[in-house]
Amino acid sequence: MRALAWHGKHDVRVDTVPDPDIINPRDAIIKITSTAICGSDLHLYDGYIPTMQAGDILGHEFMGEVVEIGPKSTLKKGQRVVVPFTISCGSCFHCKKTQFSACENSNPAEKQEISETAYGHPMAGLFGYSHMTGGYAGGQAEYVRVPYSDVGPIVIPDGIEDDKVLFLSDILPTGWMGAENADIEPGDTVAVWGCGPVGLFAVQSAFLMGAERVIAIDHFPNRLALAKKFGAEVINFKEVEVRDALMEMTGGIGPDACIDAVGLEAHGLAADNIIDQIKVSTFLGTDRAHSFRQAILACRSGGRVSVPAVYGGFIDKFPAGAFMQKGLTMKTGQTHVQRYLPGLLNAIVEGKIDTEFLISHRMSLEDAPEGYRMFHDEQNEVTKVVLKPGMVKSA
Ligand SMILES: [Zn+2]
Ligand SMILES: [Zn+2]
């Protein structure tokens, strides 16, 4: 089959590789119909994530048709499914608590060393995201093997196009959980840092959860315009001081809830020893947690801070005084995707959540290297690239 493989920094190629096979009884093989490039794929592209190996197949946001099943899969051939980016067994301590992203069984133990050091806990296995999360082949390919296929995938009824439901795989439940973790009450004012895909879904989710006002913060004009389209007021942090602006907009009190959907941007050098790898992968040695600090400093006393943004390692200048004295509550975590799928699928079908607005580019799988380049270089114009393995390569 054809698949998008990582070969090093800024070097991804569409290679011909062996088709995946059923390995375990609970596996299924999915023929990919749509797969997206994620902002976090750019960390791989930039060479910041350790334990990548040349030839690793990328992609953790995908959907397609079931073409083969193991004897213990509950899927049926011909079904259309969206697959969560987190791989979860469904039966361990954490999975039973619906904390799927902390699954203890899906990330092989010998692969957990860096993950444990960087994150304080071995993460669940992830598709297409390095060997510290299991080394699973990703879905930017014609086919993919889906482990625990009786737990993760959600079956999509006929008549609902791919582009409406593809983002159930990651960014929609991530934005939703980001808003849920902000414990929004009717009438609240909610501030959202970052108008990337997760932030924009957090904006929509916050309104659905009863927020009266949502204030979105970014500097890309196109992304701020999208937030406005969903009813948010906006702050361009290149033009004004964010905390001052938030205070002015909330009568000097601060937002009831603050959602950090930015996280640490990757800056550093890919390294080849484990300590440097951890420093790089956890963004140590940089001081990039502006949005995290701003969220804590701007939030009103007694308010809530939610952090769907990804952090690792340690952060300097954590405003512990403000956090404690204001009596803030903070919730965070990798998304427990499986928990949210049925409800969010309904919300899409009922037209309560718009998903397609995000897609700026649809391309063939063969054009994936160009898709990565564009998504990396043109962040204002390119909000989301969706690859269609069924499409013919552009001339
Ligand atoms: Zn993603
Ligand atoms: Zn589990």
Reported as a single tens digit per residue, the pLDDT across 270-292 is 444 555 555 555 554 444 678 99
Please give the Cα distance from 311 to 43 (Å, whole number): 13
Among the bound ligands, name the one nearest to the CA of residue 62.
1
CA angle at residue 170 from 103 to 107, to 5 degrees?
25
For residue 247, count other CB atoms closer than 10 A to its CB: 16
Contact call for residues 274 and 116 (beta carbons, < 8 A)? no
Question: How far is residue 340's CA from residue 335's CA, in Å, rounded to a whole number?
Answer: 9
Q: What pLDDT is stored for residue 379 in this prediction?
A: 86
Q: What is the reported pLDDT for 50?
A: 83
What are the structure tokens assigned to 252, written together?
A: 């000097």
Ligand 1 geometric centre to CA of 62 (Å): 10
pLDDT computed for residue 287 by the predictor: 46
- Sign for the pseudo-dihedral over CA of 394, 60, 292, 243: positive
* Among candidate residues 100, 96, 70, 97, the one with its CA nearest the CA of residue 83: 100
Maximum Cα interatomic distance, the chain, rounded to a whole number of Å: 61
Query: In this structure, what token pair is assigned to residue 291?
Result: 């949005």
> In this structure, are residues 221 and 213 in contact, taking their beta carbons and an 8 Å threshold?
no
Tell me, in angstroms, the distance from the centre of ligand 1 to residue 198's CA. 9
Q: Which ligand is nearest to the CA of 38?
A: 1
Within the chain, residue ranges assigned H as helices are 41-45, 93-96, 113-119, 162-165, 171-180, 197-208, 221-229, 242-249, 274-281, 290-298, 320-325, 337-349, 368-377
Cα(153) to ligand 2 centroid in Å equals 15
Q: pLDDT tens-digit profile of 228-240?
A: 999 999 999 999 9
Q: Identify the nearest ligand to the CA of 168 by its number.
A: 1
- Give the distance (Å) from ligand 2 centre to CA of residue 298: 37
Which ligand sits closest to the CA of 100?
2
Specify the 3-state DSSP secondary structure of 329: strand
Those residues of the chain that have pLDDT short of 50 are 266-272, 284-287
User: What's the pLDDT score for residue 266?
Assistant: 39
Q: Give alpha helix (H) positions in 49-138.
A: 93-96, 113-119
| Tokens at 322, concatenated | 């403000």
Q: What is the pLDDT of residue 16?
A: 98
Residue 248 CA to ligand 1 center (angstroms) comes to 34
pLDDT of residue 274: 59
Burial of 203 (0-12, 13-18, 19+ CB in 10 A): buried
Q: Which ligand is nearest to the CA of 334?
A: 1
- pLDDT at site 270: 40
Number of alpha carbons in the 13 Å side-chain half-sphere of residue 273:
2
Query: How does pLDDT run across 86-97, given as a tens digit for each residue?
Result: 999 999 999 999
| Ligand nearest, relative to CA of residue 166 | 1
Structural element, H or E, at residue 3: strand 2-8
Burial of residue 65 (number of CB atoms within 10 Å: 0-12, 13-18, 19+): middle
